[in-house]
Amino acid sequence: MSVFLFKRLATFLATLAMASVLVFSVLELLPGNVAQVMLGETATPESIAALEGKLGLDRPAPQRYGRWISGLLQGRTANSFSYGTPTAELIADRLQVSVPLAALAMGLTTALALAMGIFAASQHNRIGDLAVMTTSQIGIAIPSFWFAILLILLFAVKLQWVSAGGFPGWAGDDGFSAASLGQGLKSLLLPAVALALVQAAILARVTRSAVLEVMREDFVRTARAKGLSRRATLWGHVLRNAMIPVLTIMGLQFANLITGTIVVENVFVLPGIGRLVFQAIANRDLVVVRDVVMLLVAVVVVVNFCVDLLYALVDPRLQANDA
């Protein structure tokens, strides 16, 4: 297992290094001038050049890349062109919305998908299996932003159970309390449901396929021959082995939920990381865009690395190979 983890760690570091080069290079190739956007159409070439020098945009690209990476390694980030504050502070403030939203969506996805997938596998080729597969196919076909609009029309406009958008914050006028926490979670519920629909549909189908595949294995037939009930065999022997491919999809889905909040956050007007990226792109604030994209890349890589660690715990073959 140690060899396995060493290889995954090396891949993790190499992926981050290549991603940083790619992110910086792509943003460098984008058309437009940050100084021109900040100063407006009437700005003179001299004033544009002066602002570029102040922002460090007149330096060679390799030097700017080196300063960026060295700053990240030391825990420092550059100031945003638009906000004038370090990008780390902006991102940390917006993550207070995006991370709970992704976690809530992932919790809903996992609960719905595992229940639907296991139920469909236990009802293989019966009406319950057909119903789950039909529902999941519809869920995959519906875009998250369109489903989000439907949720707003039903629960915010017609029923008026929740607000159509916005985020009240985690602390009220009297500070942090259970009531303010409940209001914050309430404002994130519809966006989380909109994000979880497609992911739950995909994960349910993967869970069903994985459970059915394991149920055909010889050790399952042996357990049944020894007198174990179908339910005991399913929960005691099948699920652990079926979770290996399911963990892979869950890791990718959590990363997708973090990166996929951009559209949904704008639909619900949530002050999260997606909203920040949208505003930074509109303002040509490439410092913010670069750091946010690099953060999202790191999240995806870290999540996949954590999934590999779970592999080492779940899959006994890795431990046997290491021994």
Distance, CA of 223 to CA of 225 (rounded, Å) = 5
Distance, CA of 119 to CA of 121 (rounded, Å) = 5
Low-confidence ranges of the chain (pLDDT < 50): 323
> How much is the pLDDT for 319?
53
Q: What is the pLDDT of residues 273-283, one digit of tens each?
A: 888 888 888 77
Distance, CA of 171 to CA of 181 (rounded, Å) = 7
Distance, CA of 116 to CA of 109 (rounded, Å) = 10
Distance, CA of 168 to CA of 323 (rounded, Å) = 54
Distance, CA of 221 to CA of 241 (rounded, Å) = 14
Distance, CA of 48 to CA of 38 (rounded, Å) = 9
CB atoms within 10 A of CB 166: 11
Helix (H) or strand (E) holding 49: helix 45-55
What contacts 3, CB < 8 A, 6 or more positions away? 321, 322
Find out whether 257 and 106 touch, Cβ atoms under 8 Å: yes
Helix (H) or strand (E) holding 171: strand 171-172
Find out whether 231 and 141 touch, Cβ atoms under 8 Å: no
Distance, CA of 323 to CA of 13 (rounded, Å) = 26
What contacts 107, CB < 8 A, 6 or more positions away? none
Find tokens 């990381």 and name the residue.
273
> How much is the pLDDT for 173?
66
Find out whether 110 and 250 touch, Cβ atoms under 8 Å: yes
> How much is the pLDDT for 4?
65
The two tokens of residue 251 are 């890791």
**Burial (CB count <10 Å: 0-12, 13-18, 19+), residue 87:** buried
Distance, CA of 265 to CA of 276 (rounded, Å) = 10
Which residue in 90, 268, 84 sits closest to 193, CA to CA? 268
Could you give the percent of the chain with pLDDT greater than 90? Answer: 0
Find out whether 75 and 67 touch, Cβ atoms under 8 Å: no
Distance, CA of 309 to CA of 198 (rounded, Å) = 26
Residue 31 main-chain phi, psi, to 5 deg: -75, 165
DSSP bridge partners of 172: 175
Find out whether 283 and 81 touch, Cβ atoms under 8 Å: yes
Distance, CA of 148 to CA of 289 (rounded, Å) = 25
Domains located in the chain, CATH noted: 96-282 (1.10.3720.10)
